[in-house]
Amino acid sequence: MTDQPSLSFFARFWLAFVCFWRIWFDQAFAQAVLPVREADKAGQLPAGTPTELPAGQPAQEKAPEKKEPVAALPPEREHAPALQFLSMLQREGRLIDFLQEDVAAFPDADVGAAARIVHEGCRKVLRQYLTLEPVLPQSEGDRVDVPAGFDAQRIRLTGNVAGQPPYNGALKHHGWVTTAVKFPSTSPAMDPRVLSPAEVELS
């Protein structure tokens, strides 16, 4: 559709004069003008009707439609895998029970006996669902080289750290890295906040 030229004041005056008399004496013309008048009263001119903007005012572009933000998951759903893993450590090794106890009040022998049970169960879970390997293959106490550009997430420097790599130092801990994860899928019907159900024995 080509742009129509802007009408001057006198052109609009002449158009109003002609339309005034035609509306009086031409029923078909008046019938055709009526929908435009009604749309103008409602603030909605028919599509394609040119409107004049004030001089120097650019046409406004249609604002882009705003997308509805994606609802954030509640914390228990966002961290469901971690809660599930903690639940498995509780089920197999009673880890939560052990950590919630005030072990300072128990004799060392009792703490040691409980720690053996926790260790056995938690180790079972780790070996069943995670594959772990040392970050560095050397034994603790061995001298190791730390090259320039080393991964700070895999190697943490301690002691007298000065200058620029490469470094050479004693391995204090070989670190751990997960190479495979085999967690079972979690049912949406399950409440991940329940780490261990209450147990009721009926008589």
Question: pLDDT tens across 105-146, in order?
Answer: 899 999 999 999 999 999 999 999 999 999 999 999 999 999
Mean pLDDT, residues 54-63 taken together:
56
Q: Is the peptide bond before 166 cis (omega within 30 degrees of 0)?
A: yes
Pairing outcome for strands 177-181 and 130-133 = antiparallel
Where are the alpha helices (H) located in 47-201, listed in sequence order? 75-78, 80-93, 95-100, 108-129
Question: Would you state the pLDDT for residue 33?
Answer: 74
33 vs 101, higher pLDDT: 101
Phi first, then psi: what are they for 142, rounded to 5°?
-70, 155
Mean pLDDT, residues 161-186 taken together:
92
DSSP state of 155: -
Burial, 114: exposed, middle or buried (Cβ in 10 Å; 0-12, 13-18, 19+)? middle
Question: Would you state the pLDDT for residue 53?
Answer: 47
Helix, strand or coil for residue 146?
strand
Q: pTM score, two decimals? A: 0.57
Nearest to 91 by CA among 176, 168, 197: 197
Hey, CA dihedral for 112, 117, 120, 125, is it positive or negative?
Answer: negative
For residue 12, the surrounding DSSP H or E stretch is helix 9-25
Instruction: Round to whole Å and give the CA distance between 31 and 129.
Output: 80
Digit-coded pLDDT (tens) for 148-163: 999 999 999 999 999 9
Q: Which residues share a beta bridge with 97?
A: none
- Identify whether the C-beta of residue 95 lies closer than 8 Å to the C-beta of residue 89: yes
